[in-house]
Amino acid sequence: MPKSQTDAEQWNKIVQFFKENLTHGETPELDTMLFLIGVQELGIGNKKFKKDEKVNLMHIAVCRLLEPYGYYRFTGKDPDGWPHFEIIEQLPELKANEQTILMKKAIIQYFKDQNIISEL
C-alpha cells in the first residue's frame, strides 16, 4: 500500500502544476490560484476580465472551495452564466495564517475532487 502524501507534499504538487501550466514558471500567490480557480468555475474560457470581475472570480473560488465544508451552497447561475452561492454558516474568526491553511486544504481537496492531478 503506498504511503499517503502529506498536505505539504500535495500542496507542492499543486504549486508545481500552476507553475508548469498556468503561471509561466512563476510561483503563484494564493490570490492568483483563487482567481484561476474562479475562472475554471465560471467556465467561459479565455477572456480579459475587469478589476471587479477579477474580485468576483476570487469570491466564486472561495465559495466553491468552502462549499464542501458547509459554509456555502451553490444556488445557480445568473443569465450571464456567473455562479452564485448563499452563506450557510459564517466562517469562524481566523487569524491570517489560519485562513491560509484553510484555503490550502480546500484547494488540495478541490484538486482531488476534480481529479486535476492524478497523483494526489
What is the distance in angstroms between the CA of the first residue and the CA of the last residue of the chain? Answer: 15
What are the angstrom distances between the C-alpha of 33 and each of 16, 20, 53, 86? 12, 13, 15, 22
- Please say whether the beta carbons of 108 and 7 come within 8 A: yes
pLDDT at 1: 42
- One digit per residue, the tens of pLDDT, for the chain of length 120 reads 445 789 899 999 999 999 999 889 999 999 999 999 999 999 987 789 999 999 999 999 999 999 999 999 999 999 999 999 999 999 999 999 999 999 999 999 999 999 998 887
Give CA–CA dist 13/15, Å, rounded: 5
Give CA–CA dist 75/20, Å, rounded: 33
